[in-house]
Amino acid sequence: ILILSAAIWLTAFAVKKGSIWKYVFGAAFTVYLMCAASITVFPIQFSPTIRAIFAEEGWKITDCIVLVPFKDGITADDILNAAMTVPFGVLITLIRKKTTWKNALAAGAAFGTATELLQLAIAAIQGFSFRYIDTADIICNLAGTMLGWMLTALLIRFLQKSKPANVGEKSLYAYISEKCVKQ
């Protein structure tokens, strides 16, 4: 509910200025956040039976926390975690007026940390977890966000340097090329 509320608020905030493209990218960002939540948070299972089995096995919440990142090297899960947040970096850049690398870095760190803390809270409430709360996930989420920001920054710079003739002020080209991405 919190993620959905935040997504709706962010979309409403993004469209406040009235640009149709801001609305489109804001809606895409909302859909992205819901998809990310469906992958990283759901399903949430409150099962007394499963809880009892985990308790019988001596499960502790620390069993699902990995504090040393990449202790087994970089895995396919790490690459997928980074890939999952590339759209976050792209969309956060496209819905904000100006996005510096520092803004993108902060947003990526906040997103990754919030996701892992939410997974930890759910594990604590459930009394068990099928997921790992892993510091490598935060790093990979941050890397994916920054890759998305860099790709978008390169696209924006390219569009700003190569303006074709007869481009309307409300076109997608105009919306993207007006973005100011600072290094």
Its sign, for the CA torsion 107, 11, 156, 39, is positive
182 token code pair: 């600072």
User: Which residues partner with 98 through β-bridges?
Assistant: 180
Q: Which of 97, 92, 62, 72 is closest to 152 using CA atoms?
A: 92
- Phi, psi values for residue 23, rounded to 5°: -65, -45
Query: CA–CA separation, 147 vs 108, rounded Å?
Result: 10
Residue 60 identity (one-letter amino acid):
K
Q: Exposure string (b/e) for 39-76, b if CB count within 10 Å is 16 or more? A: ebeeeeeeeeeeeeebeeeebeeeebbeeeeeeeeeee
pTM for this entry: 0.76
Per-residue pLDDT for the chain (183 aa), expressed as one digit of tens each?
A: 566 666 666 666 655 555 677 777 888 888 899 889 888 888 777 777 777 777 777 777 777 778 888 988 999 999 999 999 999 999 998 888 788 889 999 999 999 999 988 988 888 877 767 778 889 999 999 999 999 999 998 888 887 777 666 666 666 666 676 665 554
Query: CA–CA separation, 100 vs 183, rounded Å?
Result: 6
